[in-house]
């Protein structure tokens, strides 16, 4: 039988607990907030709303070279009911805009939106009668990733920024008046 070995590494040592911060009232509530933020940030399930070329770049981001699964986005749900991050990658035509809005409305709170690419951010080079000039005309967007198409590193940077937003978001943000006012601007109840 193989002899049991414990961790005999002398370089591992324990620090003293710093005063003030980690004890006292309100401590549990704040740390719960942080724990929830951490859980949300590191397990974002994306809904890829991939329309055109940026969708291909997104597929490359999910591949093994630039693996997006490292950031917790391993499981793509193609249903808005189960996802919390809507990744809009590609040109959105004006005829597609109500459909995009419907998909956004079907998502449950908390939900974040990334606009990947120039077309989703502002219409891109397609300044024409048929292309929606930016998805922020119909849904509120959290992070814009510029590029035509953005490199997978750029998309990863966008997802990392969403992670930062999700980690630091207050639990009551979705009930706040500011958020309600934001949704009213888009006509969303």
Partner 1 sequence: MQNDNINEYLSQSFTSFKDWDTTSDVVSFQVSAAQIIDVLTSLYNEFGYQFLTDITAVHYPDRSKEELCVVYHLHNLRTRHRLRIKVYLNIEQPDIPTATTLFSAANWMERETFDFFGVQFIGHPDLTRILNVEDMDYFPMRKEYPMEDPTRVDKDDEMFGR
Please report, as ranges, the residues that interact with partner 1 according to CB under 8 A.
94-95, 123, 127-131, 133
Residue 89 β-bridge partners:
50, 116
> Least Å distance between CB 99 and partner 1?
12
Do 149 and 117 form a contact (C-beta atoms < 8 A)? yes
Q: Which residues of 149-164 are buried (b: 16+ CB within 10 A; e: fewer)?
A: bbebebbbebbebbbe
Owner of token pair 């981001």: 61
Q: Which is nearer to partner 1, 116 or 132 (CB)?
A: 132
Nearer to partner 1, 124 or 147 (CB): 124
Least separation, in Å, of the C-beta of 122 and partner 1? 9
Closer residue to partner 1, CB minimum distance, 71 or 126: 126
* Least Cβ distance, residue 96 to partner 1 (angstroms): 10
Minimum separation from the CB atom of position 131 to partner 1 (A): 7
Are residues 150 and 117 in contact, defined by beta-carbon separation less than 8 angstroms? yes
Q: Which of 92, 61, 54 is nearest to 76 (CA)?
A: 61
Please identify, using beta-carbon distances, which residue of 130 and 176 lies nearer to partner 1: 130
Cβ pair 104, 141 in contact under 8 A: no
Q: Are 116 and 150 in contact (CB under 8 A)?
A: yes
Under a CB-based contact definition with an 8 Å cutoff, are residues 163 and 44 in contact?
A: yes
**Residue 117: CB minimum distance to partner 1, A:** 18
- Nearer Cβ to partner 1 (122/163): 122
Length of the chain: 189
């Amino acid at each position: 039988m193989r002899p049991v070995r414990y961790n005999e590494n002398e370089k591992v040592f324990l620090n003293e607990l710093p005063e003030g911060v980690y004890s006292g009232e309100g401590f549990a509530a704040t740390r719960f907030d942080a724990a929830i933020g951490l859980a949300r940030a590191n397990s974002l399930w994306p809904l890829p709303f991939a329309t055109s070329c940026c969708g291909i770049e997104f597929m490359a981001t999910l591949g093994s070279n630039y693996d997006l699964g490292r950031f917790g986005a391993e499981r793509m749900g193609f249903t808005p009911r189960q996802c919390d991050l809507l990744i809009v990658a590609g040109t959105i035509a004006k005829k597609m805009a109500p459909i995009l809005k419907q998909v956004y409305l079907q998502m449950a709170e908390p939900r974040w939106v990334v606009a990947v690419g120039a077309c989703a951010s502002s219409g891109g080079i397609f300044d024409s009668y048929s292309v929606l000039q930016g998805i922020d005309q119909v849904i509120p967007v959290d992070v814009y990733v510029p590029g035509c198409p953005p490199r997978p590193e750029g998309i990863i940077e966008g997802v990392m920024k969403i992670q930062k937003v999700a980690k630091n978001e207050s639990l009551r943000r979705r009930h706040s008046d500011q958020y309600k006012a934001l949704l009213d601007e888009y006509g969303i109840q």
